[in-house]
Structure 1
C-alpha cells in the first residue's frame, strides 16, 4: 500500500462497511493490460491489495467518489475505492493552493482524540486549530454551529409531516442515506428529513455566506471537514451539495478522526504550548482557537431526538418517559398530563441490525413512532468508522464510554451566535433557507445482494 496515496489509517482493517466482506465492486473496470488469465477486475474489501508493476498501475482505471456514490452495487462505501481526493495530502494541497481555507471539525472527532491522548477536549481543540493555522488555514470551525441550524428546523419539519408519512427519519447519517437510496428508495426516501447534515450546512455557510462576506467567490475558498465517519467523504461528493449550476463542491475534502490524529502526531511543534494563535473574525469562527467546543443534550450523535422532544414539550406541555430498549435503541414518549395518552413518540435507532428491524416494521405498517434519530454505526457517532480504534473489545467499550462521557461534559451554547449569523445571512440572501435543505433520489438496483447481520 506504500504507493496507494492512502494515509496509514485508511486501510482495510480500519473501515467498517455495511456490505458482506466478499462482495466485489460491480463497476466494469477495464485496463489496457492483457493478462494471461482473463478475470473480472475486483475491488474486494478487507483483503490486501496485490502489488502491481509500475506500468500496469499507471494504466489502471480509477473509481472516483462520485462514481462510487452513483453506483448501484454497494450499500455504503467500498473500502478500496481510490479516495485520493479525500486524503490528508489533498487537504494540505488545497490549503496551499486556494486564497482562503476553512476547516470544519466535528466535536466527536475532538473528543475521540482527547480520550486517546489523555488530554482535555479543550487542549485538543487548541492543538488542532494551531496545526491548521500554521499551515495557512484562516478559520477552524466547530461543526456544532451548523448543528444548531439543523436543530432549529426540526420541529417545523415534523409539524409539517402528516401522520401518514411518519416516522420522520433524521438525515445526519450518510450511511443511512446511502442505504435508503440504494435499498429501500420507495419506502424510506419520502420519510427522510430534508434538513442537511451539520457537515453539509457548514459547506453552505462557508461557500455561500462566509466566502462572500470575506470578499471571495466560492471557487476561491477551500473547505475541508474532519469527521468521525468515512461515509462523510461520500456525502461531500453528492451532486446535491454543489454550488447551484456549477461543479464547485461546498465541501472539497473530508478526512477522518484517525487520519487527523496520525497527522498531528507527527507534528512535534504541535506538542509545544507556544504562543496563543491570534484570532480574527467572530466568536463562532474562532471558538476552537480558544478551546471552546460545544456539545448537545442527548448524546454524541447530536441530540436530534432530545431536541424534538424538548421543543414539543415547551410548546405543548407533557410528561416525558424514556425507556432503553436495548444497547442501541431508546424510546421517548410524551404523555398528556391529563389523559396519559401518548401525544409524541420519538426513538433512537443505532446500528444496521436495529435499522433492519425498523424497516421491517415500517413495511408491515407496525411502526408507530413520529420521529427517529437513526445512525448506521452501533453506538452512534461516538463509535463512527473513522474514530480512533483500539485492539481489544474490552478496551473499545471502555474508550467508547470515555468518549461519550467526555462529550456529555462539553458546554452548551452557540444559540445566540447562530441567530446572529442567520439574520446576517438572510440580509445578504433572502432565499438562504434553501441551502439548509437537500433531497434524495433512489438508485435503481440491478444486482441482488443477500445482506445478513
Structure 2
C-alpha cells in the first residue's frame, strides 16, 4: 500500500492468519451515481479497472475520486475487515487533537494492551509508560485519562449472568468485544452467528456511554460539549466507534468520537518527545477510577491479554456451583477449559478461547454441523489475541515480532489487579443509576446480519 498523508502506521499487518480483505472496494459499483451526504467525513478509494472497461471521462469528472463513509463500510458486505485497508480520515490523530481543542471536556480511554506494547518497545515499566502517555495527553488539554479495564469490569460483571440466561440450545455464546469478528459475523454468517453473539458492549463502547451519559452530567455538561477519544490495539475499533448503536440517545453524537491505534500514538509521542522522558507535572484531581493512570497505575486482570472473558465465566460459575477446572491448550491460539463435577466427573461447563481466523473458521464449520458443544467462546480475530492486534507496535522480522509478542503477554500477565476496583465500579454504578434509572441499557447492544445487495461474493 502506498504511503498517505493519513498515517504511516495504518496499513495491513503482515500476519499470515488473516482472511485477506477485498481490496477492490465494491461500493463504487453501487453508489457511483448516488450523491453522498456532504456532512459525512469521507475517504478516497482507488478503484481498479480493466482496460476494456475504461471510457473517456467527461471534463467535469476528470480525476474525481469515489468517496465513501464509515457508514458505507459497515453497511457493505464486500470486505471482512476494512479499517486496515481503508484510510479512515475522520479517525486520525489530527482529528483527535482538533476535537480536544474544540471541547469543554476531553477524555481519553486507553487499553492496557497499549501500555504493555509501549513498555516492551521503549523498555520501560508499564507504570512509567502510563505516566508518559498521561502527561502527553494532559499537555494537549485532556482532563481525564481512563483505563479501559474499568469499563471492562462492567462487561465482566454481566458475562455469567448473560450465559446463565442463554438456553443450552442457543449455545455457544460468543464474545462480542472483537469488532473484527463481529464484522465477519455480520457479513459472512449472519443467520448462524448473530443470534449467538453476546449483547454486552465492548469496553470501548461501555466507556463511551459512561463518559457521555454519566461523566458529562457529573461535570454539568451536555454530551456535545464532551470529546471522547480512545487508544486501542486494533484498527477495527475505529469502525466500531462509527456504529449507529453507539450514539447518544436520539442524536448524531458519537459516544466515542475518535479512535487511534497504539502505533499511531507512539508515532505522535516520538515526534514530540523522542527520548521518552517523563517531566514532572501536576496530576489532575478527580475520583480514583479517573486518575489512577496519571499516577502510573495500570489495572491488570486474570485471564490473558484479550480481556479474560472466558476465565471470568469460569470463575463465576465455580463460585456459584463449585467444580474442578481443567484447561487444555489445543494450539497456541486455541484453549479449551472444562469445569467438572468432583464427584462424578461430569462436565458441567465448557468454554474456549479461539484466536485467529483459521481457528474461527474451524469453529464456524463445527457450528454449522452442530458438532460444537462449547457453552461460551472468547473469540478474537487476531492470532495471539488483542496483544497482537493490528494496531499494536510492529517489528521488522517475524522472529522479532514473536519474541516481542511473548514479552507483551508477559508484561500484561504481570499487571496487578486493583483491590478496590470492584468498589469503584459499584460506586459508579450507583451514581449512574441516580442520573439515569435505565442506565443498564447502555451496557448492551445488538447486531444484525448485513444483507447482500450486490452480485459479488466476498473475496477470501
- TM-score by length of structure 1 reads 0.91
Residue number in structure 1 paired with 2:137: 132
Residue number in structure 2 paired with 1:24: 24
Please show how residues 132-211 of structure 1 align to structure 2 within 5 Å.
132-211=137-216
Q: Does 1:281 align with 2:307?
A: no
Asked if the contact 2:300–2:415 (Cα under 8 Å) also holds between the matched residues in 1, the reply is yes
Q: Label 1:15 to 1:358 Cα distance change in 2 as closer, same or farther (>3 A).
A: closer
CA deviation map 1:16-48 (0-9, x unaligned): 99443664100116499xxxxxxxx7457xxxx
Q: Label 1:14 to 1:216 Cα distance change in 2 as closer, same or farther (>3 A).
A: farther
Q: Does 1:100 align with 2:105?
A: yes
Q: Label 1:222 to 1:111 Cα distance change in 2 as closer, same or farther (>3 A).
A: same
| CA distance in 2: counterparts of 1:152 and 1:390, whole angstroms | 36
Asked if the contact 1:19–1:74 (Cα under 8 Å) also holds between the matched residues in 2, the reply is no
Asked if the contact 1:196–1:436 (Cα under 8 Å) also holds between the matched residues in 2, the reply is yes
| CA distance in 1: counterparts of 2:33 and 2:3, whole angstroms | 19
- What's the CA shift for 1:451? 5.4
Q: Label 1:308 to 1:196 Cα distance change in 2 as closer, same or farther (>3 A).
A: same
- What's the CA shift for 1:11? 3.3
- What's the CA shift for 1:450? 5.8
Q: Label 1:22 to 1:376 Cα distance change in 2 as closer, same or farther (>3 A).
A: closer
CA deviation map 1:107-154 (0-9, x unaligned): 001100110011111101101000000010010000000000000001
Q: Does 1:304 align with 2:304?
A: no
Asked if the contact 1:15–1:230 (Cα under 8 Å) also holds between the matched residues in 2, the reply is no
- What's the CA shift for 1:70? 1.2
Q: Number of residues paired by the alignment? A: 434
| CA distance in 1: counterparts of 2:458 and 2:145, whole angstroms | 43
| CA distance in 1: counterparts of 2:351 and 2:62, whole angstroms | 51
Asked if the contact 1:305–1:372 (Cα under 8 Å) also holds between the matched residues in 2, the reply is yes
Match of 1:318 among 307, 317, 323: 323
- What's the CA shift for 1:278? 2.2
Q: Give the 3-state SS of the residue equivalent to 2:359 in structure 1.
A: helix
Structure 1: give runs of 5+ residues left out of the alignment.
33-40, 45-54
Q: Label 1:43 to 1:256 Cα distance change in 2 as closer, same or farther (>3 A).
A: farther
Q: Label 1:66 to 1:21 Cα distance change in 2 as closer, same or farther (>3 A).
A: closer
Residue number in structure 1 paired with 2:447: 440
- What's the CA shift for 1:428? 1.4
| CA distance in 1: counterparts of 2:16 and 2:108, whole angstroms | 25
Asked if the contact 2:46–2:66 (Cα under 8 Å) also holds between the matched residues in 1, the reply is no
- What's the CA shift for 1:391? 1.0
Match of 2:417 among 408, 412, 420: 412
| CA distance in 2: counterparts of 1:434 and 1:151, whole angstroms | 16
- What's the CA shift for 1:59? 3.9
Asked if the contact 1:347–1:369 (Cα under 8 Å) also holds between the matched residues in 2, the reply is yes
Residue number in structure 1 paired with 2:432: 425
Q: Give the 3-state SS of the residue equivalent to 1:243 in structure 2.
A: coil
Q: Give the 3-state SS of the residue equivalent to 2:227 in structure 1.
A: strand
Residue number in structure 2 paired with 1:113: 118
| CA distance in 2: counterparts of 1:179 and 1:209, whole angstroms | 32
Q: Does 1:234 align with 2:273?
A: no
Q: Does 1:258 align with 2:263?
A: yes
Asked if the contact 2:78–2:458 (Cα under 8 Å) also holds between the matched residues in 1, the reply is no
Asked if the contact 2:79–2:459 (Cα under 8 Å) also holds between the matched residues in 1, the reply is no
| CA distance in 2: counterparts of 1:174 and 1:295, whole angstroms | 22
Match of 2:82 among 53, 77, 80: 77
CA deviation map 1:220-258 (0-9, x unaligned): 100000000000000000000001111100000000000
Q: Label 1:43 to 1:117 Cα distance change in 2 as closer, same or farther (>3 A).
A: farther
- What's the CA shift for 1:72? 1.8
Asked if the contact 1:295–1:411 (Cα under 8 Å) also holds between the matched residues in 2, the reply is yes
| CA distance in 2: counterparts of 1:21 and 1:234, whole angstroms | 15
| CA distance in 2: counterparts of 1:221 and 1:79, whole angstroms | 28
- What's the CA shift for 1:415? 1.3
Asked if the contact 1:330–1:348 (Cα under 8 Å) also holds between the matched residues in 2, the reply is yes
| CA distance in 2: counterparts of 1:56 and 1:108, whole angstroms | 45
Structure 2: give runs of 5+ residues left out of the alignment.
35-44, 49-59
- What's the CA shift for 1:292? 0.8
Asked if the contact 1:225–1:253 (Cα under 8 Å) also holds between the matched residues in 2, the reply is yes
